[in-house]
Amino acid sequence: MPTERMTQENDSNFGTEIIVRAEQLAGHSDDPSALTVAYLTRAHQTAGAEIAGWMIEAGMQVRIDAVGNIIGRYAAVDPDAPVLMTGSHFDTVRHGGRFDGRLGILASIVVAAHLHRRGERLPFHLDVVAFAEEEGLRFRSSFLASSALVGEFDFTRLDQKDADGVTLREAMCAAGLPGTDEAIAACAVDPRRLLGYIEVHIEQGPVLLDRGLPLGVVTSIAGNVRKRVTVTGLAGHAGTTPMPMRRDALAAAAEMVLAVERRCGEPRYGAQALVGVSASRAA
């Protein structure tokens, strides 16, 4: 069913419209067997084009910045009105969920489309941002898109390579983005114009489900720190090296993992931790 016809028939059923769009958007994937969308792959670009098209249908003015963020503005009557920003990311983890990140984009587009059909304007500009990158799947560097928007982009990341040896700057240029420091720096928004930023997001953990609650309001956010650790041991004969003389790297690493689990399991620290390896090869 065409999106426009579906929208007209379900004008008051936002949930149905969001689900239909999410299913349609999930058709763009680097992996035909599961939803995987890495930054600036072909699937990523086609998904972004579909989002931009929906924004235009919803009466928004659309622009794409130098890192690939798709920004749709449902404009107020007053061009000097302040800005309320909302949205989320549309890249995914490997074998991700169709609502992760995308719910925040699609819900905002559906609301803007509803206002547009009713001919209503808000007393502020509504900027819906489809962030091009958050998950770090391809270049092992999360929040590229949002860091550019807040003016804190790390330009050393432009030399990072994906599994095929393609640098971030090269990938940007191949996707039609400028790939220059100056253009990326110009992505930053003026915080003085912002009323705030809000985001609808699918719950990543089991808390609401476990408590039987349909909705939660986030009051704090987790800071993400990643460290790569190499544990070096000593090779020895399995049968003749005495136990006190063995230096098994795996055994030491296992003790480290358990120590992390014990420490973060204590409520007084309020921390979350995971030890593992994330596959980062983009299709």
pLDDT at 282: 40
CA 79 to CA 58: how far, in whole Å? Answer: 19
| 50-75 average pLDDT score | 98
Q: Does the pLDDT of residue 11 top 70, yes or no?
A: no
Q: Are 95 and 40 in contact (CB under 8 A)?
A: no
Q: Does the pLDDT of residue 280 top 90, yes or no?
A: no
Give the residue among 63, 155, 94 at the shortest CA–CA distance from 281: 94
CA 232 to CA 207: how far, in whole Å? Answer: 38
CA 1 to CA 258: how far, in whole Å? Answer: 52
- Domains annotated for the chain, with CATH where assigned, are 3-211 (3.40.630.10), 222-283 (no CATH)
Q: Are 122 and 60 in contact (CB under 8 A)?
A: no
Residue type at position 147: S
DSSP codes joined into one string, 203-224 = -SSSHHHHHT-S----------
In sequence order, which ranges of the chain are alpha helices (DSSP H)? 3-9, 14-25, 42-57, 102-118, 144-149, 168-174, 181-185, 207-211, 249-264
Q: Does the pLDDT of residue 222 top 80, yes or no?
A: no
Beta bridge partners of 247: 234
Q: Are 84 and 74 in contact (CB under 8 A)?
A: no
Sign of the Cα pseudo-torsion (178, 43, 148, 129, in order): positive
pLDDT at 9: 46
Q: How confident is the model at residue 31 (pLDDT cuts 50, 70, 90)?
A: very high
Residues 86-134 pLDDT 10s? 999 999 999 999 999 999 999 999 999 999 999 999 999 999 999 999 9
Highest mean pLDDT among 8-12, 83-87, 270-274: 83-87
- Chain centroid to Cα 11, Å, comes to 28
Three-class DSSP category at 196: strand
Q: How confident is the model at residue 268 (pLDDT cuts 50, 70, 90)?
A: confident
For 271, the token pair is 């921390």
Q: How confident is the model at residue 283 (pLDDT cuts 50, 70, 90)?
A: very low
* Edge-first strand listing for the sheet containing 83-89: 61-64, 70-74, 125-131, 83-89, 194-198
| 230-240 average pLDDT score | 92
Give the residue carrying structure tokens 């929208």: 7
For 39, the token pair is 């930054």
Using a 10 angstrom Cβ sphere, with 0-12 exposed, 13-18 middle and 19 or more buried, the burial of residue 280 is middle
Residues 240-264 pLDDT 10s? 999 999 999 999 999 999 999 999 9
Q: How confident is the model at residue 225 (pLDDT cuts 50, 70, 90)?
A: confident
pLDDT at 130: 98
